[in-house]
Amino acid sequence: MISKIKRFPLDRRPAIAIAIALTIILGTGATALAQGDWNDVSVSDSVVVFGVVSTGLIDSAVITVTNNLPVPVSITAADFEEDVFSAAVVNQALPIPASGTREVRIYFETEQNVDYTDFLRLELDDGVRSLIVEVSAQADHPGTYYDGTQNKWAEELKTILTNLIDGHTSLGYTTARDRMYGSIDNDDTCLECPTTGCVECIYTGRIGCFNTRAGATANSFNCEHTWPQSFFSEAEPMRSDLFQISPSDITANTNRGSLDFGVVVSSSWSQGGSKMGTDSTGQTVFEPRDVHKGNIARGHFYFIIRYDGSYVGYANPSKMEAHFRNWHVSDPVDSAGQQRNEDVYAQQNNRNPFIDHPAFADRISSFFGTAVRVLEPEIAVSPLGVDLDTIDYDTTAYHYIAVINTGTDTLNVSSIVSTDPDFALSSSGMILPPDTYDYVRVSYQSGHVDRLDSTLVQISSDDSDEGLVEVPVTVLVGSLSGIAGGDDGAPPLAILRNYPNPFSGETTFAFHLARQAVVDLEIYNVEGRLVTALLRGRTLAKGLRHLPYDGEALPSGVYFCRLRADDLTLTRRVLHIGGCSAQ
């Protein structure tokens, strides 16, 4: 659902000099310069609000981009900073025709029940700015059990989850084991044990045919406490909590003992994929088989939250937590884990939140220690490069660069500078609260010399990951008097320049394409003989290209540089004084 539209203030829509690609034939110059407008290319909705969306589901909205220019325009990029949002441009490979439209579909999907705001950045190959669309959504877990966790993080989330799952119905150790062997961890559909059902050792995968405590003893099974019961002196309700007890082969259980979990590099015991031995630091640890690692991790996350971080007797809990976080991802929740969660809930009236919603772990920075949510700014810039196209002498060209703070804290942009002072900037810095953006205008005033000019707009901020963002800006300058575009106001396909001209030694050929074209670029002498081919049959996208050429070996004299772009042929006279040149 698109619920509201936010328009940019009128005083932020200046007229911009849009460079127009023009033709030069045999050194004759001509011009047709159009002044660009803030809405040369516009978007139907500058704010998109999804509203409430259930986690795990995909919602979408459609916006429309309108090309108000007399030439086709392409959307070259459609990006978000957050991966919960994405965008698909309908027929993005095709340009938007003059006075045409193009739909963009925005998608939202997440596993976190938090509110999101991000900015869709639509970069264009024409116009004076990227199109920025603010997009927000409120993700909600289905049902009401986890309503209190909405938008909660770190210690606050831990406390809410503790209050949610503590006070469960304690069955007592005898009853808990009876339920574990008889139903919760008993597969009554297995072929190996059609009468009693199968019970599988969590560590070795060994199958036993039984469904009672006596049957467990007869099959050399017992009850494993993944959080060692010696840490809590075998007290209730920890001892009988079904979320942290499982059937185990007696030998495997003995080898595990109360060791830290870890990754074994040198084993002294192994069976069924589980190992006991030393890790890379020399600590003796126990490593469960791969198919059970995620269950071990989520069982520990549950125990820490349920019992408020008490009863920690492990030797190196922080190292173990790092393994748990990896295992939580590498061995995700499966249907068996989900069913066990439901079965335990039916017995003791609480749930394991990290089975229901594994993403909760990402909002808790530390389980064994104090969890902290670090608020940080995050910069995004659009476009990532600016082509001011081709402009005439004594002309000012503009483009607007969007600076966006998609982070959770204020972004301080301490400086915005141009490496070439010929490019002026409208702002030297800015302060952006979270989920806001502003524009900096880069402008260029041309003189009376043919040249390809460029700069880097350097944006410095307190973003810890991208403290410096550099945006390259280029412009091609040359006299364009006497040549106009098409009857419909559209510019011709290409313009060709070289500089310096005349030159000695090296020159640079620069040309601008108004659209994609197949290009040849060749140099001929005055007798019409080919001297060299710089490009042959190259398909190039719309935009500015420049190719340095070393003509030191050429005799002094007049040469002709010929550009073919599809059906258009442009020729430029160049004068070499010990090199290649033009007039």
| CATH number of the domain where residue 539 is located | 2.60.40.1930
Q: Is the pLDDT of residue 16 over 60?
A: no
pLDDT in the model for residue 10: 29
Does any domain span residue 146?
Answer: no
Same domain (yes/no): 289, 231:
yes
Q: Where does a domain end: 477, 507, 542?
A: 477
Which residues, in sequence order, are bridge partners of residue 277? 267, 285
Does any domain span residue 512?
Answer: yes
Does any domain span residue 582?
Answer: no
Torsion on CA atoms 491, 492, 494, 496, rounded to nearest 10? -90
Number of domains in the chain: 3
Least trusted range by pLDDT, from 35-39, 87-91, 195-199, 229-233: 35-39
Same domain (yes/no): 113, 82:
yes
Q: Where does a domain end: 323, 339, 363?
A: 363
Higher pLDDT, 548 or 378: 378
Q: Is the pLDDT of residue 26 over 80?
A: no
Least trusted range by pLDDT, from 6-20, 137-151, 403-417, 421-435: 6-20
Same domain (yes/no): 472, 535:
no
Same domain (yes/no): 289, 429:
no
Q: Is the pLDDT of residue 265 over 90?
A: yes
Average pLDDT, the chain: 89
Express each pLDDT in 101-151 by its tens digit: 999 999 999 999 999 999 999 999 888 999 999 999 999 999 999 999 999
Does any domain span residue 3?
Answer: no
Same domain (yes/no): 384, 352:
no
pLDDT in the model for residue 65: 97
Average pLDDT over residues 149-158: 98
Same domain (yes/no): 159, 137:
no
The pLDDT confidence band at residue 476, using thresholds 50, 70 and 90, is confident
Same domain (yes/no): 37, 108:
yes
Same domain (yes/no): 189, 305:
yes
Looking up residue 16, the CATH number of its domain turns out to be 2.60.40.10
Same domain (yes/no): 520, 547:
yes
Domain residue limits at 515 = 494-576
Same domain (yes/no): 283, 352:
yes
The pLDDT confidence band at residue 556, using thresholds 50, 70 and 90, is confident
pLDDT in the model for residue 172: 97
pLDDT in the model for residue 4: 29
Average pLDDT over residues 412-427: 97
Higher pLDDT, 326 or 23: 326
Same domain (yes/no): 454, 354:
no
Q: Is the pLDDT of residue 28 over 90?
A: no
From 522, 534, 518, select the one nearest 567 (Cα to Cα): 518
| Peptide bond connecting 500 to the previous residue in cis, omega within 30 degrees of 0 | yes
pLDDT in the model for residue 319: 97
Higher pLDDT, 552 or 491: 552
pLDDT in the model for residue 479: 63
Does any domain span residue 488?
Answer: no
pLDDT in the model for residue 491: 55
Average pLDDT over residues 401-408: 97
Express each pLDDT in 65-110 by its tens digit: 999 988 889 999 999 999 999 999 998 888 899 999 999 999 999 9
The pLDDT confidence band at residue 554, using thresholds 50, 70 and 90, is confident
The pLDDT confidence band at residue 22, using thresholds 50, 70 and 90, is very low
Distance CA 441, CA 388 (A): 12
pLDDT in the model for residue 570: 84
Q: Is the pLDDT of residue 396 over 50?
A: yes
Q: Which residue has the tokens 């880097």?
A: 456
Pairing of strands 41-43, 75-79: unpaired
Same domain (yes/no): 244, 338:
yes
DSSP state of 41: E
Q: Is the pLDDT of residue 62 over 90?
A: yes
The pLDDT confidence band at residue 485, using thresholds 50, 70 and 90, is very low
Q: Is the pLDDT of residue 18 over 50?
A: no
SS (HEC) of 228-291:
CHHHHCCCCCCCCCHHHEEEEEHHHHHHHCCCCECCCCEEEEEECCEEEEECCCCCEEEECCHH
Does any domain span residue 368?
Answer: no
Least trusted range by pLDDT, from 31-40, 300-309, 356-365: 31-40
The angle at the Cα of 260, spanning 256 to 264, to the nearest 5 degrees, equals: 80
Does any domain span residue 519?
Answer: yes
Q: What b/e readout covers 69-104, taking b as 16+ CB neighbours within 10 angstroms?
A: bebbbbbbbbbbbeebbbbebeebeebbeeeeebeb
Q: Is the pLDDT of residue 306 over 80?
A: yes
pLDDT in the model for residue 577: 84
